[in-house]
Chains A and B, each alone.
Chain A
Amino acid sequence: MRTRSHLVYALSAVVLLAVGAGPTALSADTAEQAALRGKLGKLPWRIVYESYRGKDWELFSVRPDGSGATNLTHQPGVDDLYPHASPDGRRICFVVDEGAGRDRTRNVYVMDASGTGRKRIAINARQPCWSPDGRRVAYLKGEFDRYTTKDFATKGLVFFDVEAGTARAHVNDGLHHLYNLCWSPCGKWLTATVHGGMGHRHANLAFPAEGKAVHKLPHVGGCRPDLSPDGKRVCWNLSDQVIAIADLDLTASPPTVTNLRKAIQCPKTHEVYHSDFSPDGRYIAFSHGPKGGEQVGAMAKGWHIHVAEAARPDVWIAVTTDGVSNKEPDWLPAPEERGR
């Protein structure tokens, strides 16, 4: 079943590539994929992602059915990466790799969802995410001044109030080597992966936004957890080739993880990464392509954004078909798409 699916999506990608980035080639879809693409085309959301365009990285948005890809940034000479949309869809936080050689830094920015109003909010920082009310951005401070694409090169977590323009540090100053921050919908928790830090070899953690406790998420091996909009499920990379889903109870003490199931899988020649629940929790966007660099700012030739139903993960569609390397999808509420 999986093999058939992969043949189908590979064929689909080839045909889509041949017709370019315009309206999607529905004729290449299986009946199941066509049905999925049809459903996705009616959703009032877009997907924002990072895309290497031959000279630098730009942020694009695209409809979930693969149509209407738009460059949001147009910033030659700098690399715009790791976009995350605010829950109300008004803004996007992201990182920018700017400067060259020993002067290169990774900084956190915020802009309007249209790509205007670009503003730097932190220097030498990375892995930003939004609070559920869209008022604050949490980000991780860079561990050293020296630039690196190492995702875990972080020390300390900061909350930035976008309206007030003020920043304050998380009360736990022992947060070290975290990456892939995700703020729970209730606002009380953050999840992240830790690598070689805080006493862990490698683990996925949950910790309170306003406290010093740290809990290892049981059974969640691998990396890059993302929480569903109701906060009751988590999806993450179980391996390079497997995105898993499990039920999560952050109200339990300590948090519990149950009903683990493998969801999106690909052959050993390829990888799946960067899973992200849609705003209604029914779909998962993710990056997929031949073995490549999944870290932020690392090239992954042939990677594209895909979408699957969380409850039917064996059917995928390719959402992007152009660009050298498309990664880090994040769902962007887009009211203007309603009723399209």
Chain B
Amino acid sequence: MSIKRRLALLAAASLVASAAPSCRKAPPRSSAPPPVITTATGGEMALLPGGWFMMGSDAGGSDERPAHRVWVDAFLIDCREVTQAQFRALQMPDPSHFKDPNRPVEQVTFRDAMEFCNERSLAEGLQPCYAMSDDTGAWTCDFDANGYRLPTEAEWEYACRAGTESDRSCGPDARSLARCAWYEANSGKTTRPAGLRTPNAWGLYDLYGNVAEWCADYYDPNYYASSPPRNPRGPAAGRLAVIRGGAWNSKASRLRSAARAGENPRFHDACFARDSIGFRCVRKAPQ
């Protein structure tokens, strides 16, 4: 099936789902994974259809409750975590501890991630999403721009679940986790090249483990009690930014689709960066 035809089908599916907000089920797992495009600078992105899903978990930590229905619009998401090679290709100094061009970039600040998104957008002739102030360190994100940005927390969890509602999309036990993730039990105390484990049903790698991933939202443990049902983007302000997915040094209990964490987005000095945090990018779905 051609990409164009798949896009048309996905758009139609989105419209149907959008027009039926009372639908209680997540998008059915299709037999074929979503279409994948190769971007102008060489990354692979999956085109995820818009849809409703159950976000959070009533059985998880207090910040994961309540589980609630959320709609996200269709979007493109990197199949793999941003690698050190991608970072260096845009002439950005690679701050990673575990050096290897194919491993995910880490020790990146939230601002580094935003800068990468903008540089990647410019390199591909897209509109940068982020406006950043050198004076104050403040930033804004233009969600209508067609360039790269960090995923919202809802987009991240939607992508991670890939139509599942269980704790993990790859299965409940340690053996299944080891097949899809690098974490404390199997990482060897280091990151690993991106994309070596089994992807989820939507063709996305390393959502659990390897590096935890910055999301666009500020972290608020009580946000789910009041978050909007459609395309939530997190609280307007906050002290911490959301990180998701756990990392090479995380326990299995942190590698769950609903598990949330917050990190200071302004660990601005190189001294205090963490070698367990990286990111992946998203883009608006083509119209």
Contacts and interface: CB of A to CB of B under 8 A. Distances in A.
Interface string A274-294: 000000000000000001111
A127 B134 CA distance: 20
Contacts of B210: none
A196 B97 contact: yes
Contacts, number: 71
Nearest to B274: A201
A141 B135 CA distance: 26
A146 B88 CA distance: 11
Interface of A is mostly: loop
Interface in B72-105: 90-97, 99
B95 A196 contact: yes
Contacts of B269: 223, 240, 294-295
Interface of B is mostly: loop
Given A152-B95, A177-B93, A202 B270 contact: yes
A282 B137 CA distance: 36
B275 A201 contact: yes
A304 to B, nearest CB: 17
Nearest to A222: B271
A306 B134 CA distance: 24
A298 interface: yes
Contacts of A240: 269, 272
Contact of B97 (A153, A193, A201, A237): A201
Interface residues of A, number: 30
Contacts of A150: 93, 95, 270
Contacts of A294: 268-269
B177 to A, nearest CB: 26
B107 A196 contact: yes
B113 to A, nearest CB: 14
Interface string B258-277: 00000000101111110100
A199 to B, nearest CB: 8
A179 B107 CA distance: 16
Given A196-B107, A201-B97, A223 B268 contact: no
B145 to A, nearest CB: 19
A145 B91 contact: yes
A330 B90 CA distance: 34
A148 interface: yes
Nearest to A197: B99
Interface in A159-180: 177, 179
A298 B135 CA distance: 7
B137 A293 contact: yes
Interface in A272-325: 291-295, 298-299, 301
Interface string A182-208: 000000000001011000111000000
A152 B268 contact: no
Nearest to A155: B93
